[in-house]
Structure 1
Amino acid sequence: MFYEPMLLETRAEAFDSAAHIYEPKIDGHRLQLHLSGGQVRLFTRHKNDCTRQYPELWNVPTEAEELVLDGEVASVDPETGIFDFERVMERFQLKKADRIHGAAERRPVNFVVFDILQLNGQDLRGLPLMDRKRILADVLRPNEYFTLISFVDGRGRDLFEAISARKWEGIVGKVKGSSYVGRRSPDWLKIIRWEYHDVFIAGYRKSELGWLVYVQEEGRLRPAGIVELGVTIAAARAFYGVSKQLVVGEKGDFVYLEPKIQARVKTRNWTKAGMLRQPAFVEFIL
């Protein structure tokens, strides 16, 4: 039985609270693991079966006969020590069995477990979070493929400062007494470590919102992605009012501009191809 995942609300800044524990936010994709009758099935948060993608997770280090675990499947870049979202997506998108098994040997993923929802037929979701944590620690024996997430008690600002120094994605704050609900809840909060960059807008999509942005590098402008997030109605109105005077051409769905409009964006990090990952508009630079 698939359980609807508990989702996080967003908070802008880290905070301290005696009512919360704080965990690193792992930059991978959500994974729900089901063990029953000696068989493992793996699901994404949208209930897509991805069992075949991760053969290294088929042997769960536990003596339990039946359980459901919630966590994040992740991959760490050995050179930087940073969670690498692109490496996980490369694994997730493989189709052929031989390539999947080869990748599992060369670049195994790690399942970072942060919750247990069911154990030997008993639904644990109604228990307080810290009780579920204790059960999880008793049930799962971490190995090279399975990790229990670490957490700190009450000190959200300290943890956020530590993960920022490592350039990890952010932190998650969870109410100690929270039960597990299959919806978005203020009992679980995410605080993202954003990076801010100044860009030049050099075009836009006609069909839907999307601003082509460039960054300055070694005295030249180069493409850095498309901004689709964070644009308010007022910002869009101001942009399109000015952009009419800067059009230099069109091709297909895109209108190209002289790169004279400058803006600040926030992004989670850079992709390996040098693109801004999920950039969001913050403000114009005047």
Structure 2
Amino acid sequence: MFISPMLLETAAAPFSDSRYIYEPKIDGHRLIYSQESANVKLYTRHNNECTRQYPEIANAAFTQDIVLDGEIACVDPLTGVIEFESVMSRFQARRADKVRQLTQTLPITYVIFDVLRYKGEDLSNRPLMERKEIMAGLALPNAHFGVIPYVEGAGEALFAQMQARAMEGVVAKRKDSVYEIGRRSAQWQKIINWTYADVYLSGYKKAEFGWLASVPTDSGRMRTAGVIEFGVSPTHKKAFYGVVKPLITGEDRDFVYVEPRIRARVKIRNWTRAGMLRSPVFTEFIV
């Protein structure tokens, strides 16, 4: 059984409130674990089945039928850091031999943060803390399952810990919140631990909006680091396109290229292992 997950709104800043619990935000991908008559199916938040990608949990079963909401995480064995790129390597693997190999080199953990059905009962209309109590009593099938920890009220302190550990951020949830299936709700809010980077704008997309971002290499040359598609207001677009024409150096099917003279600051989730900006969002021009 697939249940469309409850989604989070974005908080402007860390906050502390006794009406909320606060969980570490896991840098993985959302996963619905569904067990009916001992048959386990795994689904992404968009209802794509991914059971075969994660045999560590797909081949395990609880003593009772259950539907869980959580996150797939991969921990780098050398650094102990949760790595999104490793999760994507697992998710994109399809061949059985490749999946078997990755279970050894990139084992996953399913970090559970909610229980939606249990013993045939729909729990979505119960308050969050009741659902948490049921979760705390579950006997987990194997070591690839874990339950997210949380603190009550101390959101700013937890966010400071996430910053110190370079983790993705914090999720704030109202203690009395019901599970709003398939909806984005202010009852659950995410506070992202953004990293900031300064880049040069070296081109723009032809078909739809997007600015090409580049960064200097050690040798002083420029290399492409990603495309900025979010956070740009109409005023910023007007300013950019108003001055960029004399800077054009060439074009191809997808991009118009310009001299990298305009600088911008972006916020990102992190740098990828390949040196690319992950999810860049424009914040301002740098003069």
TM-score band, normalised by shorter chain: over 0.9
Separation in structure 1 between the aligned mates of residue 27 and residue 37 of structure 2, nearest angstrom: 31
Q: What TM-score comes out, normalization by structure 1 length?
A: 0.96
5 Å-filtered alignment, 1:82-101, equals 82-101=81-100
5 Å-filtered alignment, 1:119-138, equals 119-138=118-137
Query: Any unmatched runs of 5+ in structure 1?
Result: none
What percent of counterpart residues are identical?
A: 52
Are the equivalent residues in 1 in contact too, given 2:109–2:146 (CA < 8 A)?
yes
In the other structure, the counterpart of 1:145 is 144
Q: Secondary structure at the match of 1:237?
A: helix
Structure 1 residue identity aligned to 2:205: R
Structure 2 residue identity aligned to 1:114: F
Cα offsets for 1:124-151 (capped at 9, x unmatched): 1111101100101102337420010000
Query: Any unmatched runs of 5+ in structure 2?
Result: none
Structure 1 residue identity aligned to 2:253: G
Superposed displacement of residue 219, structure 1: 5.5
In the other structure, the counterpart of 1:253 is 254
In the other structure, the counterpart of 2:279 is 278
- Corresponding position: 1:42 with 2:37: no
Quote the RMSD (CA, aligned, Å): 1.3
Q: Name the count of aligned residue pairs.
A: 285
Structure 1 residue identity aligned to 2:185: S
Structure 2 residue identity aligned to 1:179: V
Are the equivalent residues in 2 in contact too, given 1:67–1:116 (CA < 8 A)?
yes
Structure 1 residue identity aligned to 2:26: I
In the other structure, the counterpart of 1:9 is 9
Are the equivalent residues in 1 in contact too, given 2:52–2:58 (CA < 8 A)?
no
Q: Secondary structure at the match of 1:191?
A: strand
Structure 2 residue identity aligned to 1:257: V
5 Å-filtered alignment, 1:43-192, equals 43-60=43-60, 62-63=62-63, 65-141=64-140, 143-182=142-181, 183-192=183-192
Are the equivalent residues in 2 in contact too, given 1:128–1:178 (CA < 8 A)?
yes
Structure 1 residue identity aligned to 2:37: G
Structure 2 residue identity aligned to 1:188: W
Superposed displacement of residue 102, structure 1: 1.8
Separation in structure 1 between the aligned mates of residue 237 and residue 145 of structure 2, nearest angstrom: 46
Separation in structure 2 between the aligned mates of residue 173 and residue 142 of structure 1, nearest angstrom: 28
Cα offsets for 1:31-63 (capped at 9, x unmatched): 000112222100000111111110000244632
Are the equivalent residues in 2 in contact too, given 1:70–1:113 (CA < 8 A)?
yes
Q: What TM-score comes out, normalization by structure 2 length?
A: 0.96
Are the equivalent residues in 2 in contact too, given 1:213–1:226 (CA < 8 A)?
yes
Cα offsets for 1:48-100 (capped at 9, x unmatched): 1111110000244632x200010001101122222111111111111211111
Q: Secondary structure at the match of 1:139?
A: coil
Separation in structure 1 between the aligned mates of residue 119 and residue 147 of structure 2, nearest angstrom: 19
